[in-house]
Structure 1
């Protein structure tokens, strides 16, 4: 049986700042094959046709199994807080802690507005709300909520710069939804209980189910719901990110793009993975950094003893 490979998706190297590499890791990286990559590392984990990242359709298929024959847009519950410069997205989805009954109350008030617009809204999961769009509808481009979290809301509204009709339509729908939610009695109860109100929606992830999604990885571990939903469409075994390395069968991709602590990364992932490599249970370890740099580690590289160890990951 051919030994498996493990790929770690990591942030840009600068995110680790001046943190020092251990002597062992510095030696291994110095002896590794370094490759300059182009494009999003996620496209090397999943091959999606047509090209794109249709999050709403993929998560809808996982949540309800009915994503075919329509376009979908996530309209997740959100909490935005006004400030002197506008309003900021502070929480969305799971972070708001909605249960089915609470989500249902909000949705009953929102359904007439979105139904009249031709975009029925529902929520097969309390944290993930969806708009069903007609096939062929012009799909808006919205930022993912993770990208916008903590940022000025108005910087991420659609087509704000050119004031297009499509942009005006979606901004109008959002404004109407915000008025409905602001006046909802459930929010008064949430605030009285010390919980964040649901006073806005976050539109994102528009698209249709792709024609195909394929992956060379048997397993994908990530806390990114888009990556796991699309990975499931590819037939991979997907799971949440575990706290540390654990062995399993088949090639593995691990999403560690939120990693910032080099010591923890070494302790929980790189050191045990290196032990697997040395024992021959892994044939290769690939470190894919978000800035396009990749390190490929293999057993035979231990003979490159003339290379000086790296001290840090600084570009």
Structure 2
């Protein structure tokens, strides 16, 4: 069995400065013994690459995740229009996702109604099937080059706004939406409860449903991430739910020659720079995945491991290489033994 793990948020840049580093001896050993290749894509782009998508510079994240969220995404041209909080100060306007305090279904419905009243004459309707993933479905493509939400998180949006032939129109709409949402009753209520208001929408991930050209990246795919679920559907591949840990996965995957597992529990804390939450999530992955995985490599019931950090490199490790004590990859120093 060859197991591929995608673990976004495993090695955020700021984790190198933690003192002391979180204790994760099995993960430390895996990182130290493996062969590292520099450069990996963020999670969504990495998933599209592994599913064989070759359609252009920006993968159609919106259409694929919309399908995973229960929308009929097989026709039309889709944009993610995710709710965000924008903080303005003397240095610019910083974008913050609303992962910690997402809009409730009632708040989403109220803001979507306000949007629809304003833009219905232009044929635009805001779809809000999931707390942090909102969508626009267009009849025709638009020419926009956009920045994924994760890449914009915590940064000044000035240089990250959509670019391209249609950018002026859509950036104008984004500014209008900020003014529209600011005075809505749901935002006034959120502010009174000391919650970040829904300042606006972040547009990204535009494209149409991938009709052909995808392939299965492994015999089995196990994930909760919406893009992984949508890509599995587009590739005609059965998607398995994410198991609670390695042992449960190994039982579920019995007989498979290869598997792709997406472990995205670290991603929100890594993006937010929340060291406490990140360390707690590292501890849970160490207990549930990395420690039993290391034991399986030692017993050779697992033949090989690929671990992609989705941003800081990819590790390749075969069962017989765990004993190569002379290897000391720098990434291992992020964790204590």
TM-score by length of 2: 0.74
14 and 115 in structure 1: CA distance in 2 versus 1, 3 angstrom threshold: closer
Measure the CA separation in 2 of the matches of 1:312 and 1:122. 45
Are the counterparts in 2 of residues 14 and 313 from structure 1 also a CA contact under 8 Å? no
Of residues 273, 276, 279 in structure 1, which corresponds to 2:293?
273
Q: What are the within-5 Å matches in structure 2 for residues 1-315 of structure 1?
A: 4-10=1-7, 11=10, 17=16, 26=29, 30=33, 34=35, 36=37, 40=41, 41-43=46-48, 45-51=50-56, 52-92=58-98, 94-135=99-140, 137-159=141-163, 166-212=166-212, 213-217=214-218, 218-221=220-223, 224-234=225-235, 235-239=237-241, 242=244, 246=248, 247=250, 248-249=252-253, 250=256, 251-256=258-263, 258=266, 264=283, 267-289=287-309, 290-299=311-320, 301=321, 307-314=324-331
- 1:110-163 CA-to-partner distances (Å, cap 9, x unmatched) read 11333333333222334322111123x22422212111111112221122xxxx
Are the counterparts in 2 of residues 221 and 228 from structure 1 also a CA contact under 8 Å? yes
140 and 243 in structure 1: CA distance in 2 versus 1, 3 angstrom threshold: farther
Measure the CA separation in 2 of the matches of 1:27 and 1:122. 42
183 and 98 in structure 1: CA distance in 2 versus 1, 3 angstrom threshold: same
Deviation at 1:37, TM superposition (A): 6.9
> Aligned with 1:122: secondary structure?
strand
5 and 95 in structure 1: CA distance in 2 versus 1, 3 angstrom threshold: same
Q: Which has more strand, going by share of residues?
A: 1
- 1:11-31 CA-to-partner distances (Å, cap 9, x unmatched) read 56977649699599659954x
Gaps (5+ residues) in structure 2? 268-277, 333-337
Measure the CA separation in 2 of the matches of 1:97 and 1:21. 31
Measure the CA separation in 1 of the matches of 2:25 and 2:102. 40
150 and 274 in structure 1: CA distance in 2 versus 1, 3 angstrom threshold: same
75 and 38 in structure 1: CA distance in 2 versus 1, 3 angstrom threshold: closer
Gaps (5+ residues) in structure 1? none
Q: Indicate the structure (1 or 2) with the bigger Cα radius of gyration.
A: 1
Deviation at 1:172, TM superposition (A): 0.7
Are the counterparts in 1 of residues 26 and 286 from structure 2 also a CA contact under 8 Å? no
44 and 178 in structure 1: CA distance in 2 versus 1, 3 angstrom threshold: closer
TM-score by length of 1: 0.78
> Aligned with 2:120: secondary structure?
helix
Measure the CA separation in 2 of the matches of 1:240 and 1:133. 32
81 and 240 in structure 1: CA distance in 2 versus 1, 3 angstrom threshold: farther
106 and 240 in structure 1: CA distance in 2 versus 1, 3 angstrom threshold: farther
Q: Which moved more, 1:282-291 or 1:107-116?
A: 282-291
Measure the CA separation in 2 of the matches of 1:281 and 1:96. 42
Q: What is the RMSD of the two structures over their aligned residues, measured on CA atoms?
A: 3.5
242 and 187 in structure 1: CA distance in 2 versus 1, 3 angstrom threshold: same
